[in-house]
Chains A and B, each alone.
Chain A
Amino acid sequence: GESVGLHLPTLSVQEGDNSIINCAYSNSASDYFIWYKQESGKGPQFIIDIRSNMDKRQGQRVTVLLNKTVKHLSLQIAATQPGDSAVYFCAENNPTDKLIFGTGTRLQVFP
């Protein structure tokens, strides 16, 4: 299930720095948003979600921010670690109840 080879934008950060991954979503009526992490050789894994009645939600080392005005979602990872290296996808749950994924961002963490 590797995602190596996907033509994705890449974010390179140094270990210990904070990472910010951005995503623009398409449907202003979407009411639920999720960030997934896909490591090489694996399927996507749920990281954190947020509902449209919130603008911020925090998890362990991760924070998701939602700006409905500009249809923008971001994922902040604090103190990025080598194990955070992966492809990150945002997904929106649109009114037809289908989960629509963004194209993804590759995060590379270097020592």
Chain B
Amino acid sequence: DSGVTQTPKHLITATGQRVTLRCSPRSGDLSVYWYQQSLDQGLQFLIQYYNGEERAKGNILERFSAQQFPDLHSELNLSSLELGDSALYFCASSVDGALRGGELFFGEGSRLTVL
């Protein structure tokens, strides 16, 4: 158990809908990262937050947004969903804002299926 909690584990929705994925980082970790894992793209970095502020942005679509709350949990909002958004969405956390890879702890992911 990495200590990172993601909900829901599975989510099925229709095109055009909006969903929210939630992540609770490990106790004491200030930084949260979101990754998308799809069939043909591997793990794609979406966005990083550190202590409530956006720290880095990757290949995140404009239809997607995220935030980190004062209690450090994070939410990833996906709107106007398309079939191609079906993927596993991983949250990871680290103690500080510097990405040193080995200090990233991943949750078990949220599997989104868009029908």
Contacts and interface: CB of A to CB of B under 8 A. Distances in A.
A102 B41 CA distance: 9
Given A34-B101, A34-B102, A1 B42 contact: no
A43 B108 contact: yes
A93 interface: yes
A89 B42 contact: yes
B2 interface: yes
Interface residues of B, number: 28
B100 to A, nearest CB: 7
B45 A44 contact: no
A58 B83 CA distance: 43
Given A1-B90, A7-B40, A97-B56, A46 B101 contact: yes
B76 interface: no
A101 B43 contact: yes
A93 B100 contact: yes
A1 B89 CA distance: 8
B25 interface: no
